[in-house]
Structure 1
Amino acid sequence: MSIVAVRIDERLIHGQVANLWTTSLQASRIMVIDNDIIKNDIQKTALKLAKPSGVNLSILGTEKASANINAGKYDKQRVFIVVKKPETLEKVLDNGVKIDTINVGNMSQKDTTQHLTQSINLTKEDYDSFQNILAKGVKITAQMVPSDNIKKFEDVLKDYKL
């Protein structure tokens, strides 16, 4: 399988992902991995409507996505994986999926988050997941759109106050 990019973006498929990232990556498939969305027909329909024309879409839970990737189901495609939370990617990695780099886009501010950048806000659970992912040797970057400078995510994490 050709995973061309992996992105954490709470908004999943929206203008930046659908137009800028998918085009820049020349992705032939967007794979949304989320254990809650697979149970929600309204959210699945919204994602189907938001995807770019001519790009395939998979909406899968962590187990099914991991199994499909490990079985080589998408080997001849350019797959762009999008998830809401780092915890999802931590599970996918634990299931044996090889990911080299993760890009962090938008993680919204909530009552339980700590503000790190204009678009990145983390909970303690997010922070712990990122630390676990980094410990597995996965590179993590922060970049909102393809034309932005790429930041090392370890530098962003340094501002997190435990």
Structure 2
Amino acid sequence: MIKIIRIDHRLLHGQVIFAWTKSQGIERIIVIDNQTAVDDFKKMSLKLSKPADIKLSVFSDEQAIERMDKINALKDTTMIIFGNVAETAKVAPHFTGVTEINYGGIPERQDTKKYSNAIYLTPKEVKESQQLKQLGFKLYMQQVPTSKRESLNDVI
């Protein structure tokens, strides 16, 4: 069962490993990130950084779509982590039973607008997010489970 979908350019890091997995009872993490999926060193680093009792899979967006029937049928309490908005917009419409997407960390770059302390979106990312919103997803910004949850839907 998919419990949470998160966009975070850092993928697995302290906030995810300690705060989100514990508060949500996560048993499996699936990272969907095209760059990481083809980088053996990054994949090894993710495997070393995850808690021993949590299963980890790393897929490209295409690999995730190909495996979507299996992903949607998982019995494990699962967290999906995307590295960026574009891959989220491509894959998220294929999930079943998922209604929310957590925007956890998208860095400031050229031509971005600030939406929260940790969320900066380009015009293209805003458009992709609006498409997700139109599909019925509730988009929200929240770095850790104990911080205030802010609606992205209301400001894009």
Same fold? TM cut 0.5: yes
Task: Structure 2: give runs of 5+ residues left out of the alignment.
Answer: none
Name the SS of the counterpart of 1:129 in structure 2.
helix
Amino-acid identity (%):
32
Structure-2-length-normalised TM-score: 0.92
2:54 aligns to what?
Answer: 55
Counterpart code for 1:139: K
Q: Aligned equivalents of 1:58 and 1:148: distance in 2?
A: 27
Whole-angstrom distance in 2 between the partners of 1:72 and 1:29: 11
Give matches, 1:143-154, under 5 Å: 143-154=142-153
From 95, 98, 106, the counterpart of 1:97: 95
Q: What is the match of residue 85 of structure 2?
A: 86
- Structure 1: give runs of 5+ residues left out of the alignment: 158-162
| Secondary structure, counterpart of 2:147 in structure 1 | coil
For the Cα contact (< 8 Å) 1:66–1:97, is it kept in 2? no
Q: How does 1:7-156 map to 2 (within 5 A)?
A: 7-71=6-70, 75-94=74-93, 96-98=94-96, 99-156=98-155
Give, in angstroms, the shift of residue 37 of structure 1.
1.0
Change (3 A) 1:20 1:72: closer
Shift of 1:63: 2.1
Q: Secondary structure at the residue paired with 2:140?
A: strand
- Provide the C-alpha distance between the structure 1 equivalents of 2:125 and 2:72, rounded to a whole number of angstroms: 29
Hey, what's the Cα distance between the residues in 1 that align with 2:104 and 2:145? 11
Aligned pair count reads: 155
In the aligned structure 1, how far is the partner of 2:66 from the partner of 2:119?
Answer: 30
In the alignment, is the contact (CA less than 8 A) between 2:2 and 2:72 conserved in 1? no
1:73 positional shift: 7.1
Q: Output the aligned Cα RMSD.
A: 1.6
CA distance in 2, matches of 1:22, 1:69: 22
SS in 1 for 2:10: coil
